[in-house]
């Protein structure tokens, strides 16, 4: 038997959890009701039996002669028959002397013991093969004697059976009706769950569209929403993977083809100078391909970060200082004056250190690649400015800049500025990565022309999120 088959159904579990406690409660309640009713019925029967004993005792007189221990029963046989008459039970009586000898009544009818207490004593005794309910009354007037009155218990037993029957059968019928109603109600409430199970089970592995949910309860609705949210996250992740694979396949084709062409050209020549030139070109192409792969990976990781991003307090001044020091050797090698402003005091923002570092790396790298001045010295400034409502991170260069009509376009993927197109370097992902990272951090990116020429990129962090 499979594990699925060995598990009980939700419907049966709900029925058991409802009906079993209810049945036990009803059973205990019925037992209490029957017990209480039986107790008071026994009290009524015992009271009638005691009245008969008092009636017999009231007719015990002192005899006119000394025979019979000085006492006699003044009831005739006719009168005694009237006293002992019962339509459904047989009554027995005995009047006993203090020594237990029979004064009148049925021989052999006597309790297990005769007590001196004047309080009536109820008991069960066996007489002529029957179990009787008896009461013993002790009287001291006109002399000391005992009256034992007993009767059969058929009426008592019959009454108890009727109490049980008329108490249990309706309860069982009601429990059965309730079980049938619960079964149908639970079955109807579980229909949306079964439909959801069928929809998910029959869904193609490539179909990540939301599952239709017919919710009759809040719980089924929340389950459907959770499944659809999961499908949405999976679809987003799959789409990011597809885009990454497509981008890698498309963009790496050109540098790899260039590397192959350079290698083939070098192999066709025997001049070491040509080999040196081709190897230098291969190294440049490899550097461009590595940079492209790094950027594509950064975009893929940024897309994945949409799922879950934890923000903490980050020292922006420290990150800016580290980034400037990290790129300073490259800036010196290319003759660029790289500096920082506004980091002489602590500046803290709520964000993610890795993403802010990625923003700085891409902006500084872009400025070093495309922001060098055509004439004169090249300057790149990384600045941090604090305003009453925000913290602004900016990277400014004095290069050729970007025409105003292209400022919005170059922040899109695969779009390059004139400098990038002229240098045949990069693929237009740097600012797209910056925009994606900023969106994850809840920041805003703005591009503006620097004066007198160049490009300034602002990343604004609202203080409301600090």
pLDDT tens for each residue of 388-403: 889 999 999 888 777 7
Q: How far is CA 341 from CA 124, 318, 389, 445, 466, in A?
A: 109, 12, 19, 19, 21
pTM beyond 0.85: the answer is no
Tell me which residue of 344, 355, 351 sits closest to 313, measured CA to CA. 351
**pLDDT digit string, tens, across residues 217-253:** 778 788 888 888 888 888 877 776 776 666 565 456 5
pLDDT at 417: 46
Q: Hunting for tokens 């009601």 — which residue is that?
A: 174
Cis peptide before 155 (omega within 30 of 0): no
Question: Which element (helix H / strand E) includes 392?
Answer: strand 390-397
Displacement of CA 452 from its chain's centroid (Å): 61
Q: How far apart are CA 433 and CA 244, in angstroms?
A: 13
Does the CA dihedral 295-299-300-302 come out positive or negative? positive
pLDDT at 459: 92
Residue burial 428-437, b: 16+ Cβ < 10 Å; e: rest: bbbbbbbbbb
Tell me which residue of 145, 155, 154 sits closest to 56, measured CA to CA. 145
Mean confidence (pLDDT) of the chain = 78
Q: How far apart are CA 437 and CA 358, in angstroms?
A: 8
Q: How far apart are CA 133 and CA 129, in angstroms?
A: 13
Q: How far apart are CA 150 and CA 102, in angstroms?
A: 15
> Residues 252, 293: contact at Cβ < 8 Å?
yes
Query: CA dihedral defined by 229, 233, 235, 237, rounded to 10 degrees?
Result: 180
> Residues 99, 108: contact at Cβ < 8 Å?
no
Q: How far apart are CA 257 and CA 249, in angstroms?
A: 12
E strands, 101-240, in order: 102-105, 121-127, 130-139, 145-151
Tell me which residue of 200, 182, 195 sits closest to 11, measured CA to CA. 182
Cβ–Cβ contacts within 10 Å for residue 236, how many? 15
How buried is residue 15: exposed, middle or buried, by Cβ count under 10 Å (0-12/13-18/19+)? middle
pLDDT at 394: 92
Q: How far apart are CA 288 and CA 296, in angstroms?
A: 12
Share of the chain above pLDDT 70, in %: 82
> Residues 160, 38: contact at Cβ < 8 Å?
yes
pLDDT at 290: 74
Domain 310-465 class, CATH top level = alpha beta
At the second CATH level, the architecture of 11-160 is: 2-Layer Sandwich (3.30)
Tokens of 121: 């004593």
Tell me which residue of 125, 75, 153, 38 sits closest to 136, measured CA to CA. 125
pLDDT at 18: 82
Low-confidence ranges of the chain (pLDDT < 50): 1-2, 68, 250, 413-427
Q: How many CA atoms lie within 13 A of 36 on its CB side?
A: 6
pLDDT at 245: 65
């Amino acid at each position: 038997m499979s594990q699925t088959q060995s598990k009980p159904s939700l419907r049966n579990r709900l029925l058991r959890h409802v009906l079993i406690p209810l049945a036990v409660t009803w059973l205990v309640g019925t037992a209490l009701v029957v017990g209480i009713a039986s107790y008071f019925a026994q009290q009524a029967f015992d009271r009638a039996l005691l009245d008969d004993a008092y009636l017999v005792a009231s007719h015990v007189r002192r005899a006119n002669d000394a025979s019979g221990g000085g006492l006699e029963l003044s009831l005739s046989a006719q009168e005694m028959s009237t006293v002992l008459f019962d339509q459904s039970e047989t009554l027995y009586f005995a009047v006993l002397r203090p020594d237990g000898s029979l004064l009148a009544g049925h021989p052999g009818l006597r309790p297990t013991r005769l007590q001196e207490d004047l309080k009536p004593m109820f008991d069960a005794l066996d007489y002529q093969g029957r179990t009787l309910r008896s009461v013993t009354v002790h009287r001291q007037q006109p002399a000391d004697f005992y009256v034992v009155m007993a009767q059969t218990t058929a009426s008592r037993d019959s009454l108890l059976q009727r109490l049980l029957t008329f108490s249990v059968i309706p309860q069982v019928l009601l429990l059965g009706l309730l079980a049938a109603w619960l079964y149908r109600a639970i079955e109807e409430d579980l229909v949306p769950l079964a439909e959801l199970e069928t929809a998910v089970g029959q869904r193609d592995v490539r179909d990540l569209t939301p599952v239709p949910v017919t919710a009759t309860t809040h719980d089924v609705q929340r389950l459907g929403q959770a499944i659809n949210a999961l499908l949405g996250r999976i679809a987003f992740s799959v789409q990011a993977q597809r885009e990454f694979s497509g981008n890698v396949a498309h963009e790496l084709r050109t540098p790899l083809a260039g590397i192959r062409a350079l290698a083939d050209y070098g192999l066709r020549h025997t001049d070491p100078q040509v080999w040196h030139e081709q190897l230098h070109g291969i190294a440049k192409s490899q550097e461009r391909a590595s940079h492209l792969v790094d950027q594509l990976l950064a975009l893929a990781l940024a897309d994945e970060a949409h799922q879950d991003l934890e923000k903490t307090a980050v020292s922006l001044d420290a990150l800016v200082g580290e980034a400037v020091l990290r790129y300073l050797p490259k800036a010196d090698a290319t003759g660029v004056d790289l500096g920082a402003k506004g980091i002489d005091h602590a500046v803290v923002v709520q964000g993610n250190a890795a993403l802010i570092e990625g923003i700085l790396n891409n902006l500084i790298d872009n400025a070093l690649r495309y922001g060098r001045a055509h004439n004169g010295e090249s300057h790149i400034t990384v600045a941090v400015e604090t305003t009453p409502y925000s913290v602004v991170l900016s990277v400014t260069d004095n290069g050729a800049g970007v025409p105003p009509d292209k400022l919005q376009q170059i922040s899109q993927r695969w779009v390059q500025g004139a400098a990038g197109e002229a240098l045949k370097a990069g693929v237009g992902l740097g600012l797209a990565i910056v925009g994606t990272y900023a969106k994850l951090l809840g920041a805003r990116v703005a591009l503006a022309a620097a004066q007198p020429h160049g490009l300034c990129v602002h990343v604004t962090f609202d203080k409301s999120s600090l």
